[in-house]
Structure 1
Amino acid sequence: MKLASLKEGGRDGTLVVVSRDLSRGVRVPQIAATLQQAIEDWDRAAPALAEVYAALTRGDEPRSFAIDPQQLASPLPRAFQFLDGSVYLHHMEKARKARGADMPPNYKTDPLMYQGLSDRFIGPRDPMVVPDESLGLDYEAELAVVVGDVPMGTSAAQASGHIKLLMLLNDFTLRTITRTELPKGFGFMQAKPTSSFSPVAVTPEELGAAWDGEKLDLPILSSINGQPMGRANTARDMFFTYRALIAHAARTRSLSAGTIIGAGAVSNLDPETGYACLAEKRADEELAAGRATTPWLRFGDRVRIEMLDAGGASIFGAIDNAVAKA
Structure 2
Amino acid sequence: MKLASYADGSRDGHLVVVSRDLTQAHYASGICTRLQDLLDDWGFIAPQLQDLAVQLNHGKLRHAFPFEPGKCLAPLPRAYGWAVVAADGRVRREAGQFLGGGKPLRALASCEPALMAIAGDLHAASDAGAALDALRLLGLAVDWRAEGELVASHAAPLAVTPDELGDAWQRGVLQASLVALHNGSKLEPRDVAAAPGEALARVVRWRALRAGQLAGVALGALDIALAPGDSLRLDLKAADGQHSLFGAIDLDFLPPPAA
User: Where on the TM-score scale, by shorter chain, does this alignment land: which range?
Assistant: over 0.9
More helix by share: 1
Pairs within 5 Å for 1:63-74: 63-74=63-74
CA distance in 2, matches of 1:25, 1:3: 9
Aligned amino acid, residue 233 of structure 1: D
Q: Cα deviation per residue 1:160-206 (whole Å; 9 max; x = unaligned)?
A: 111111111121121xx12xxxxxxxxxxxx1121111111110000
- Structure 2 match to 1:117: 95
- Structure 2 match to 1:298: 227
CA distance in 2, matches of 1:142, 1:229: 18
Shifted more, 223-232 versus 59-68: the winner is 223-232
CA distance in 2, matches of 1:157, 1:39: 19
Pairs within 5 Å for 1:90-109: 107=88
2:131 corresponds to which of 136, 159, 175 = 159
SS of the counterpart of 1:194? strand
2:217 corresponds to which of 229, 251, 263 = 263
SS of the counterpart of 1:315? coil
- Structure 2 match to 1:251: 205
CA distance in 2, matches of 1:84, 1:229: 24
- Structure 2 match to 1:229: 187
Aligned amino acid, residue 23 of structure 1: T
Q: What percent identity do the matched residue pairs reach?
A: 32
1:196 corresponds to which of 147, 151, 154 = 154
1:129 corresponds to which of 96, 103, 106 = 106
Change (3 A) 1:41 1:9: farther
SS of the counterpart of 2:167? helix
SS of the counterpart of 2:154? strand
Matched, 1:313 2:258: no
In our comparison, the structure showing a higher alpha carbon Rg is: 1
- The answer to whether the 8 A contact 2:173-2:196 is kept is yes
CA distance in 2, matches of 1:116, 1:302: 25
Aligned amino acid, residue 245 of structure 1: A
Q: Cα deviation per residue 1:124-179 (whole Å; 9 max; x = unaligned)?
A: 1110122xx5xxx12123221111111122112211111111111121121xx12x
Change (3 A) 1:227 1:19: same
CA distance in 2, matches of 1:78, 1:230: 33
Aligned amino acid, residue 244 of structure 1: E
Change (3 A) 1:70 1:209: closer
Q: Cα deviation per residue 1:13-57 (whole Å; 9 max; x = unaligned)?
A: 110001111121111121111011111111111111111110110
- Structure 2 match to 1:144: 116
- The answer to whether the 8 A contact 2:4-2:75 is kept is yes
Aligned-pair Cα RMSD in Å: 1.7
Shifted more, 226-235 versus 163-172: the winner is 226-235
CA distance in 1, matches of 2:213, 2:169: 20
Deviation at 1:9?
A: 4.9
- The answer to whether the 8 A contact 2:168-2:239 is kept is no
Structure 2 spans left out of the alignment, 5+ residues: none
Deviation at 1:213?
A: 4.3
Deviation at 1:218?
A: 1.3
CA distance in 2, matches of 1:203, 1:213: 14
Deviation at 1:322?
A: 0.8
Pairs within 5 Å for 1:8-47: 8-47=8-47
- Structure 1 match to 2:166: 208
**TM-score (norm: length of structure 1):** 0.74
Change (3 A) 1:30 1:253: same
Deviation at 1:73?
A: 0.4
**TM-score (norm: length of structure 2):** 0.92
SS of the counterpart of 1:75? coil
Matched, 1:82 2:82: yes
CA distance in 2, matches of 1:121, 1:223: 21
Deviation at 1:123?
A: 0.8
Deviation at 1:300?
A: 1.2
More strand by share: 2
CA distance in 1, matches of 2:170, 2:32: 28
CA distance in 1, matches of 2:85, 2:92: 7
